[in-house]
Structure 1
Amino acid sequence: MRETRRQTFDEVDLLLDNARLRDELEPYRDESIDPSINRMPLHAENEYLASMLAWERAPALPIAEWFNPPLDLMPPDSLSDAQLSSLLNKTIERLFSKNIVLRCTDHLSDRELYMIVYRDILPCCEKMVDVPGKAIEWMCVEDTETWLRYYASAVERRRYQEERGMPLPAAETPPYRRQLPGQ
C-alpha cells in the first residue's frame, strides 16, 4: 500500500512538472517541439522539455566569454612549441569543464589544433546551455577527404564510395594520437 501511494505521489509530481514546463515553453512553441514526445515516458518527456527550456533561455556568447575571466589565449606565433603544447592542454581541459568536447583532432599538430581553438572556437557564439550529460562537440576536421582518410570506419568509407562513385583516399592512422577528455 505504501509503495503504491509513493508511486502516485511521484507520478503527480511528474505531471505537475510537465504542466509547468509546457507553460514555460509556450512563448517559444513552434514546430521544433516534436509531437512524438507524448509517446515518451513522463520522466523522459520532462527531461526533454527541461533541456529545450534551458536552450531557449541560454544566452548566446562567444565561447571565450563562458569563462570568468574570459579565456584569452596568446597568439600562436608568440609561443614556443613547449609553451603552446602546455597551454593547449590546459585550454582543452578548461573547454571540457564547460562541456565542450573536441573531436577528430589526431590529424592536427598541437600548433594547428591551438590555431583552431584560438581562431575558430573561442570567438564562436554559442548558446551557453548547462544540461547535465550534454556537450558541444567541436569537429576539428574541415573537409570530407580528411575525415575519410583518418576517421571514417570501413562501413562509412564503403557507403560514401557507393553513394558518390568516387575513389577514396587511402585510410591512414592519424599522426598525432591524443587522449582528450570526453573520449
Structure 2
Amino acid sequence: MPKKPVKTKGDAERQEQFWEHVAAFEEAKWITSFDQLVRSGIELPAPEELDDSQLSAKLWEVIRGLAILRTFLYSTDHLSDRELYEELWHELLREETPDMPVNDDSAWHIDLVGNGSEQDNELYLRYYAGEEDRRRWAKDWPNDTMPEHEALPYDRDRHLPSRNKAAE
C-alpha cells in the first residue's frame, strides 16, 4: 500500500501563502505594464520620437524594467529593435494585469509568438520550431501550409532576462 505523504509545517505555510496570493489577485486593481514602468521612473517616448540608437537603448531599459517587475519576454528574435519597441509601446505594455506585489516567486511571461493566432503559429513554425515540432505539426495539421524554416534575423533572446536570471 502506498505511503500517505506527510504534511510538514512548510506545506501548510505554502498552502496558506498560495491562498493569500489568490485572494490578493482577486482583489487587486488592474494596471498596465506601461503605467507600472512609468511609475517606476522609466520614460516611454513614442517610437517615432527616437532615432535607432536611442530606441535600442530605450528598448533595453524597458526590458530591464520589465524584469524588475518580474515580466519576461520570449521569442523576440524575429523582430528588429524598432519592431519590438513598437509592439511593446503600442500593444503589449497597454494590456492590463493585476497590480500585485513583486517577489522572487512571481512572474508574468510575454511570448511574442505565443497567443495561438494563425500569424503567431506561422512565425513559430518559420523561425522557432525545431524539426521534430515541425514534423509533429505537419502530422497533426496536414491541411496547414508549412512555411520554410528561416534563420532568425536577430540575436536578442539569449540575452533577455529570465525568471532565473532577472537580476542580470
TM-score, length basis structure 2 = 0.76
- Aligned: 1:49 with 2:44: no
8 A Cα contact 1:93 1:181, kept in partner: yes
Q: Alignment partner for residue 150 of structure 1, among 108, 113, 127? A: 127
| In structure 1, C-alpha distance between the alignment counterparts of 2:82 and 2:33, rounded to whole Å | 20
What SS class does the counterpart of residue 94 from structure 1 fall into?
helix
Aligned-pair distance for 1:131? 5.0
Please identify, of 90-99 and 43-52, the stretch whose mean Cα deviation from structure 2 is larger: 43-52
Aligned partner of 1:127 in structure 2 is 98
How is 1:28-177 mapped onto 2 (pairs within 5 angstroms)? 41-67=11-37, 68=39, 71-129=42-100, 130-141=102-113, 143-165=120-142, 166-177=144-155
Aligned partner of 1:5 in structure 2 is none
Deviations 1:79-116 (A, max 9, x none): 11101001111111011110111111000000000001
| In structure 2, C-alpha distance between the alignment counterparts of 1:49 and 1:147, rounded to whole Å | 36
Aligned partner of 1:29 in structure 2 is none
Say which structure is richer in helix.
1
Assess, with a 3 A threshold, how the Cα gap between structure 1 residues 131 and 153 changes in structure 2: closer, same or farther. farther
Assess, with a 3 A threshold, how the Cα gap between structure 1 residues 132 and 55 changes in structure 2: closer, same or farther. farther
Larger radius of gyration: 1
Assess, with a 3 A threshold, how the Cα gap between structure 1 residues 49 and 156 changes in structure 2: closer, same or farther. farther
What SS class does the counterpart of residue 106 from structure 1 fall into?
coil
| In structure 2, C-alpha distance between the alignment counterparts of 1:147 and 1:43, rounded to whole Å | 40
Gaps of 5+ in 2: 1-6, 114-118
Aligned partner of 2:116 in structure 1 is none
State the AA in 1 paired with 2:161: P
Q: Considering Cα pairs closer than 8 Å and 6+ residues apart, tell me whether 1 or 2 has the greater RCO.
A: 2
| In structure 2, C-alpha distance between the alignment counterparts of 1:163 and 1:42, rounded to whole Å | 43
Assess, with a 3 A threshold, how the Cα gap between structure 1 residues 72 and 120 changes in structure 2: closer, same or farther. farther
Deviations 1:56-84 (A, max 9, x none): 12211122222425654111112111010
Deviations 1:36-60 (A, max 9, x none): xxxxx54443343233123112211
Aligned residues: 147
TM-score, length basis structure 1 = 0.70
State the AA in 2 paired with 1:64: F
| In structure 2, C-alpha distance between the alignment counterparts of 1:116 and 1:122, rounded to whole Å | 8
